[in-house]
Structure 1
Amino acid sequence: MCGRMRCVMMKTLRGSPWYALRELWRALAPSGALRCILVLRRKRANPAATDSATFHLPRGSMRRYHIVRAESRNMSASASETGRPRISPMQWALGVWLATLARSWLGGVLLIALCLAAYLPGLSDFPPIDGDEARYVEASRQMLAERTLEALVVPRIDGAPRLNKPPLIYWLQSASAWLLSGGDPARLSYPAALRGEATGQRTLTGSPPTRATTFTGGVGAWRLVSVVATLIAVLITWRLGLQMFAPPVAWLAALLLGGCFLCILDARLARTDQVLLACTAASQWALWHVWRSRPTPLRWVLALWVAIGLGILVKGPVTPAVAVLTVLALGVLTGDWSCLRRARIGLGVAILTLMIAPWVALVIRYVGWDTLWESLARETFGRGLSSIGGRGGPPGYHLVLLPGLFWPGGLLVVPAFLYALRRGLRRADETHVLAGDNRGGGVRAWPVWRLVRPGRPAEMFCLAWIVPAWIACELISTKLPHYTLPLFPPIALLVARAAWAGAAGTLPLVRSKAAAAGDASWVLIGLALLAGAPLYLAWRGALREEPGVVVALAATIILVVSLLMAAWVVVRQRRFVAALLIGCGVSTLGGYGLFQTVLPNLRKPWVNSEIVRDIARIDPAGARPLAAVGYYLESLEFLTGGRIERIAPAQLDAWLDRHPTGLAVAVEGAYHTAQPIRVVAREAGFNYIEGDSIVLDLIEPLTAAQADDQRRAPQATHVAAVHQRQQP
């Protein structure tokens, strides 16, 4: 059919949305290659308030709308006039179906299912990573083992208080381990893992007993907290997006948050980052209602302050700082500060006091005010004014990392930000400056010096959430990649909004030369993160050369590369929604290859796990004393269930005298003793904390008879007694 074809439909969507699809398809079927435009109008709404956009459906159930006009045009004429991509009736049908699904509870169930498919593979299949994760799980394990009020209030590692973070993460991890162990935490400890290997059964982690993670003490029970927190953040982003944008935008934003590379990584680590993300997202969701609702329901005020209190108990001032910066930005942009009154700050202070003061009082009782203040000052002022542990970077550090950490959403970060600026902030003309403007959140007057006026509240709120907090992250001295994670939900919302705008051809910069270079870099970043990183780790970490492992890794890499090529083709066609969906699938596959296939089967990085396996083989009952001589990492204590004692090299002789049946772990060549000993196991690997190779010896004292035998036949004894596995 040539020219234009117009059909007018006054059908009310009284039943299923499929009724509307059938009627529209009957009208547009003869022009299958035509572009269709829907104009949707809300029932009993002002006719002038019609929302006209391709795939941008107003909020509410489809039953609450009339199809007022369905207009289709010849594609060649439309493309020449507007330059917009071709939209077929089938694509419109998909948009309506997504709008219906994205609002219903089925949309939330689908998000949970997709996120679990991305997070659960490999969750328990690699040991705790030394550094932050090993410290968190070991402090939580000791808290759970002691079960005293002091242990609950003051987390400890090797007897030393760990107050650099508030206690909520330790409480959550301990509760998770207690629940998954059936109320018997000893089932997650070292002897239980030994029994699992002896009987050939799987451990509580679900890992095969021959894996390097047999003796991790069920570390998946600790990591599950991060998985649940990520799911909560994804669902909050979805619900917040439903109140800001169209349902497909909200659902895509939640998927982008859950499928980004940083969330797929952090959801498998027992750290505070994902719990902080959930608390910050919850507080900002409540803040949106406090800012927009007049009057504000009490439930949202309570939700705001409870979420801020939980955020403080997770990681101190981060969550309240994000909320305060957002309110300040909104007040400056709109000139309206009434949300401070609606937030009921007095009630909030009372809630925060009730939530935090009891813990502070108990900490002062057990460790003293000086110790608590020293920890608070080091973690707040110290991180802001100086680089702790050499973890710093220049301003722009987080901006450079954003395309990789937020992949695949990094595809549209720049166009999305410009699009949000154009919609959320508008240039103030002389009329608005002199007379004032009552739009955009209750603005009453505009000072002459103001250059912009409020635009759409959703985009403005997201910008107020992102920009001030991002600047603060760039200015503080200590920088780590995950510091900007609480800002990912609004970024996901803006990117999803831009992706659907790209389907309508209204997104800026997508046809420039810079956009073409950005598309190519997006594919290369995905290739490096999801295919290059597993291959590099397999090479450097000495992957176990088992046929099943090699085949699984090769198949994963082939699938990742193939899907990336498909995503490249789709991006060049400016089908951004499809490209982002493919990207989420690629990130899930890449996470499977990295965490399920590569990391559990590396030999060099998991030297502590390997030495603990040797201990289990020599001492299956778990009754012999253990010591770490001049070498200590928290993962070693966690893997042994807290049985290992930390001693200096000069104390080795005295310790062997007290424990004639003991086993000691020491770095090769870094210990000396006058007593007769023998090396019963030796493991070579890579210490990724120090960045160099390491060889660990497992030694035991000899009896007098064994010493005589060793002197008579040292070489034979060495060959018979030493179990040595040198890694390539």
Structure 2
Amino acid sequence: MNDLTARVAPLLVLILALASFGVGLAELPVQDRDEARFAQSARQMAATGDLIDMRVQEAPRHNKPALIYWAQTAAIWITGVSGETPIWVHRLPSYLAGALSALALIWAGTPVVGRRAAVIAGVICATVYMMHAEARTAKTDAALVLSVILTMGALGRAWLDMARPWLTPLTFWTGLAAGFLLKGPMVVLPVVGAMVWIALQYRNLTWLTRLRPLPGLALFMALVAPWFIAISIVTDGAFWSASLGGDLSDKITAGGEHAASPPGLYLITIWLTFFPWSLLIPMALSFAWATRKDPKTALLLGWLIPGWIVFEAVPVKLIHYTLPLYPALMLLCGAALVRLTKAEMPFSRWGAAVGTVGWTLALVFFSVVAVAAPVAYGPAEPIHIPSVVGATAFVLAGLTGVTLLWRGAVAKAVAAMALCGVAMGWTLTAVSLPAARDFWIADRLVEASARYSCVEGPIALAGYAEPSAVFRLGTDTILTDAEGALAYLAEAPNRAAWISPALIPGAENAFSNVPQITGISIGNFRPVTLRLYVSPGVSAETLPCGP
């Protein structure tokens, strides 16, 4: 890689990431449950100016620290959008964090695997499925990946004796603090994993002094402690019982909303979550084994393996949990490809065959989802042409990439795989999934309710309490049971409530059921039916603002 290419490559990777992650940012409706909760809480934070205590309506939101809420609140203030903010505004922090992650990975990986391999890793980061999914979701995970990359990049420079006296420690402790303010101790897992791995392999931890532990810890506490102290005072300690005794404990013991899954789930699903680059996993593992005694590889293995074991051991498994470990795998993939082009690593047909089989199964899965979702869960039509066109594009690009890789044309294979990732992201998030309208009940509630402009006051909901409904219908939405909804309608004229008919059999005799909505709740994947009931004395025929 010549000097000009070395300078331009990071900019091109950044542009690729911005383009890749930008698709679906506005098209995909708000998702239940976590994204809707984060977004609604940030909306209320922006409205009230309370930057300490996060809430969804009146319910405390104390399972995560505050940094992502601050970032979304800043996005609201900077864009100047007020009131019922659209979801794309809340997704901007994740979008920018995802794009910067691809750029930061080049910086973090260059001392470890070389510039060319680090650039390939940046391309992988910009187009891999799991990063694409999180970079256009208003949650913590894309920002957490950025903080982990910065932290591990500094840790790697310290380990390889390439640290700058103050800049490297500053990057390490600031990245660690940002990660802690995003998702608590999750950021510590890859850091400690790498330290333990290196200590066991080399019996040496003296290199950690290059990170200036004492002033670094002081900086870390100065950045992290103020909010934790403030939230402890405001909530009288309830934050700790909710975040540690509730959220974290539930995930360790399989309590709360999530069920337990067996160990090995992440090893199976990585063919999907790392697509389209899952083709390279056997090659990356082969490279890691061949160079396992190299200090640079030791850093990447410590980043990847200990944390992976912990996540597999924890009963509750969500596919995005292992995402902060993916950058290490991306760098291993990049290094393996570079060695392959230099003929420093033999092309393993067995490894390529295993990778191709797993990759092909993932390709079939995504193409079926892209084509079938709008038909099965959308308007009654036999085929959704835009989804078919998009699926055809990413299938052809992917097959081209596989063919080129088998022929040894690595650079062209990388370009084809990147195109496959971008095309698949566009197809799923901007075309297919938005067209599967059965999943987007909250949007349909808003559309149906808007037809009755004379309805006064907030809308009540009974039988459907997903946070997306609050985000779309408004903070003042009333979540109640059937009895409460009927009482609300009886209190004044021109009120409306969406009620599950199963909760009030026979109530249609007293209240006019205007439209009916049926769909699938993506919060629990259960069927939902809701009818719009209006105040007594108002019928569908006489409602002045009816259709």
Q: Percent identity?
A: 24
Instruction: Name the amino acid aligned to 2:520.
Output: F
Structure whose residues are more often helix by fraction: 2
Q: How many angstroms does 1:718 deviate by?
A: 9.6
Correspondence for 1:358:
226
Q: How many angstroms does 1:132 deviate by?
A: 1.0
Q: Report the TM-score, using the length of structure 1 for normalisation.
A: 0.71
1:241 to 109, 121, 124: 109
Moved more, 382-391 or 686-695: 382-391
1:694 to 522, 528, 533: 528
Correspondence for 2:82:
185
Instruction: Name the amino acid aligned to 1:472.
Output: V
2:353 to 511, 516, 536: 516
Instruction: Name the amino acid aligned to 1:173.
Output: Q
Alignment partners' CA distance in 1, 2:48 and 2:509: 35
Instruction: Name the amino acid aligned to 2:316.
Output: T
Correspondence for 2:477:
644
Correspondence for 2:377:
541
Change (3 A) 1:543 1:653: closer
Correspondence for 1:605:
439
Q: How many angstroms does 1:623 deviate by?
A: 4.7
Contact 2:158 2:207 in 1 (8 A): yes
Contact 1:666 1:697 in 2 (8 A): yes
Change (3 A) 1:590 1:718: farther
Deviation sequence 1:659-690 (CA, Å, 0-9, x none):
32211111123236699421222112222323
Instruction: Name the amino acid aligned to 1:301.
Output: P
Instruction: Name the amino acid aligned to 1:111.
Output: V
Partner of 2:345, secondary structure, is coil
Change (3 A) 1:629 1:285: same
Confirm whether residue 172 of structure 1 aligns to residue 71 of structure 2: yes
Correspondence for 2:6:
103
Alignment partners' CA distance in 2, 1:534 and 1:470: 29
Alignment partners' CA distance in 2, 1:503 and 1:239: 22
Confirm whether residue 627 of structure 1 aligns to residue 460 of structure 2: yes
Correspondence for 2:368:
532
Alignment partners' CA distance in 2, 1:146 and 1:253: 42
Contact 2:461 2:485 in 1 (8 A): no
Q: How many angstroms does 1:533 deviate by?
A: 1.6
Confirm whether residue 683 of structure 1 aligns to residue 521 of structure 2: no
Correspondence for 1:255:
123
Partner of 1:395, secondary structure, is coil
Confirm whether residue 161 of structure 1 aligns to residue 63 of structure 2: no
Contact 1:684 1:696 in 2 (8 A): yes
Correspondence for 1:505:
343
Alignment partners' CA distance in 1, 2:432 and 2:379: 7
Q: How many angstroms does 1:334 deviate by?
A: 1.6
Q: How many angstroms does 1:719 deviate by?
A: 12
Contact 2:128 2:273 in 1 (8 A): yes
Q: How many angstroms does 1:370 deviate by?
A: 4.3
Confirm whether residue 112 of structure 1 aligns to residue 14 of structure 2: yes
Q: How many angstroms does 1:383 deviate by?
A: 2.3
The structure with the larger Rg is 1
Counting only pairs closer than 5 Å after superposition, residues 301-316 of structure 1 correspond to structure 2 as: 301-316=169-184
Contact 1:102 1:251 in 2 (8 A): no
Q: How many angstroms does 1:278 deviate by?
A: 0.5
Contact 2:36 2:467 in 1 (8 A): yes
Correspondence for 1:663:
496
Alignment partners' CA distance in 2, 1:418 and 1:459: 12
2:292 to 409, 421, 424: 424
Contact 1:409 1:580 in 2 (8 A): no
Number of equivalences: 546
Alignment partners' CA distance in 2, 1:220 and 1:317: 28
Instruction: Name the amino acid aligned to 1:608.
Output: A
Partner of 1:353, secondary structure, is helix
Instruction: Name the amino acid aligned to 2:240.
Output: L
Change (3 A) 1:461 1:393: same
Structure of greater relative contact order (alpha carbons < 8 Å, 6+ residues apart): 2
Correspondence for 1:478:
316
Alignment partners' CA distance in 1, 2:543 and 2:26: 36
Q: How many angstroms does 1:652 deviate by?
A: 2.8
Deviation sequence 1:347-369 (CA, Å, 0-9, x none):
23222221222212221222111
Instruction: Name the amino acid aligned to 1:498.
Output: A
Q: How many angstroms does 1:385 deviate by?
A: 4.0
Change (3 A) 1:486 1:623: same
Partner of 2:439, secondary structure, is coil
Correspondence for 2:27:
125
Counting only pairs closer than 5 Å after superposition, residues 207-226 of structure 1 correspond to structure 2 as: 217-226=85-94
Partner of 2:437, secondary structure, is coil
Change (3 A) 1:543 1:462: farther
Confirm whether residue 559 of structure 1 aligns to residue 403 of structure 2: no
Contact 1:473 1:479 in 2 (8 A): yes
Contact 2:371 2:384 in 1 (8 A): no
Change (3 A) 1:507 1:408: farther
Change (3 A) 1:486 1:179: same
Q: Report the TM-score, using the length of structure 2 for normalisation.
A: 0.93
Alignment partners' CA distance in 2, 1:258 and 1:695: 39
Q: How many angstroms does 1:115 deviate by?
A: 1.4
Change (3 A) 1:652 1:409: closer
Alignment partners' CA distance in 2, 1:273 and 1:598: 23
Contact 1:609 1:639 in 2 (8 A): yes
Confirm whether residue 458 of structure 1 aligns to residue 296 of structure 2: yes
Correspondence for 2:240:
372
Confirm whether residue 270 of structure 1 aligns to residue 144 of structure 2: no
Confirm whether residue 333 of structure 1 aligns to residue 201 of structure 2: yes
Instruction: Name the amino acid aligned to 1:574.
Output: G
Q: How many angstroms does 1:588 deviate by?
A: 0.8
Contact 2:21 2:99 in 1 (8 A): no
Contact 1:666 1:698 in 2 (8 A): yes
Contact 1:625 1:661 in 2 (8 A): no
Alignment partners' CA distance in 1, 2:359 and 2:243: 41
The root-mean-square deviation of aligned C-alpha atoms, in Å, is: 2.5
Alignment partners' CA distance in 1, 2:344 and 2:286: 12
